[in-house]
Structure 1
Amino acid sequence: MRKLVLVAALAMTAVGCDRSKAQLETATADNQRISAEKDSLLTEVMANATLVNDISTELSKARNLGANPVAPGEAAGSRAGSDRQVVLGKIRDAITRLNESEAQLERSKVRLAALTKKDSRLIGQINTYQKTIAELRSTIEMQQAQYTAIIDSQKTQIVALHATVDTARQVTTKLTTEKQALVDTMNTVYYVVGTKKELIAKGVAVQEGSKFLVFGGHHLAAARALTPAPFTTINRMQDSIIPLPDPSKKYKIVTRQALDFVDQPTKDGKVQGAVHITSPEQFWAPSKYLIIVQD
């Protein structure tokens, strides 16, 4: 009988030992998992702290990006636009990583709740970290909204600058065109060469004087109302040489242009071969019409 009691006692002791050993192994495993969760949490918190600091630094720099929009086409504007996109990308990346961290903390909390040994302090830390991450995400989202508003405002300014520049270009183009047209008009002159009969027939010259006068007689003069039609059109600043039809003949200028600004006139005040104008502005000053008659 005593032997049976002893055997039963030994059996119960063995069972108790096995149970204690299993509990110890479970507790050890729980402690290891808790320790791993702590390490994971610390890593996540450190990473998030670094991330938020980096984002804060980038946002501080970003506030000055494009503060003074430049005219379209300038390199500085392109760089500022590129930098703004980089900052917005980093903000979006930060929000994504914070969301992932929050999800990771939630999974850690679920795993801790499933452990045999509860660690209320660690669960409390997880709750605190989750709250911190939520606050950080809210802060970054607010900064994102502010920065996006700044960018939208700057885009509006840039659009306005584009419109201003386009208007300025149009005005400049118009003024340039008008200026060129004015210059062309000022430099446009006319000449005609012919015999007395030809010039009178074209209506560009008239014969003045009276056949009853003893002294003087007739002389050729420019018609009072001249039009460009019978004349050859040239540019006074570009066409300084006017060819004459017959090199062997002498020609006389009927209009008021002075021979002082013609190269090598003849001694009797005539020209031969061609009219070489030495000072266009002074030569054409009296009239934009030049009438030359063959002598």
Structure 2
Amino acid sequence: MKVGMVLLGALTIAMWFGISSVSKKKEVLTNQYTELEAEIMQKELAFNDILTLYDKVEGQIGDILERERLVQQHNADQLDKRNPQKIFKQISMIDDLIFRSKQDLRQLEDEAKSANLKLGLFEKRIAGLQAELSTRSETIASLKEELSKKDESLAKLIVEQDSLHSTIHAQLENLEQRSLEVKQLTAQNNELNKSYLAIGTYEDLKAKGVVMKEGGFLGLFGKAWKLQEEADEAAFMTVDRRNLQRLRIEASMLDLVSSHPEGSYQILPGESEAEKVLEITDPERFWKVSKYLVISKKI
């Protein structure tokens, strides 16, 4: 009878662990599916933005071609007092379209790269737009030179406009360069301030591979928990340490598993017995040893 009870107890425990294991696997699969779904949606949105920008550039190049034909038609006609102004207006619009198209193409390239999409065919189409835009730029430059020889007033307008455009373009490029430098510095600063946070009971943290036990007398007694050095970053929440001064945690007790200097933080009582507050009093010292913050809690 006793043997039967023991076997029944063992079977019950085994079944409980089996159910618990299935439940954890189901939770992991659900989380993976949710992350995959979010990633697909993000890529779809990025692709739609890229496609919209591509269509915009393609339309602008079509507009350039149409205005280019008008300029060539005026050039073929006998120039009179009215034609130079008409031609100059079209040339001015073409110059503006070419400049905007170059800016949009640069943005298109950047977005295609940052979206991390495998768009081999699409990249060829972007290269085709760049080649077409380069051809249009060369064509309009030749037309300007040809028209300038035929009419002095038009030549003067073209020179003044080209000079103005060169100044504006140089200023814009300078601003873009400064903007790029600011973005790079911001990205570097964000990376430097990136930290990793994990909160849970010892059992939860161990299951995620965040902590492990070591030491102890004869490997049996007095073992201490410590941070798993090769822990998967996916088990942590990425945080910006500049925005992490106080953490309110539902727990009756808190303990820091990761290494942080004494005096750089304090654990305070919360608004109830079931809440504790971690306050980082000296952020520079607190994060000096480790960029990981692992908190074990007892509920």
- Mark the structure with the bigger radius of gyration: 1
Higher relative contact order (CA 8 A, sep 6+): 1
Q: Shorter chain as normaliser: what TM range?
A: 0.3 to 0.5
TM-score, normalising length: structure 1:
0.43
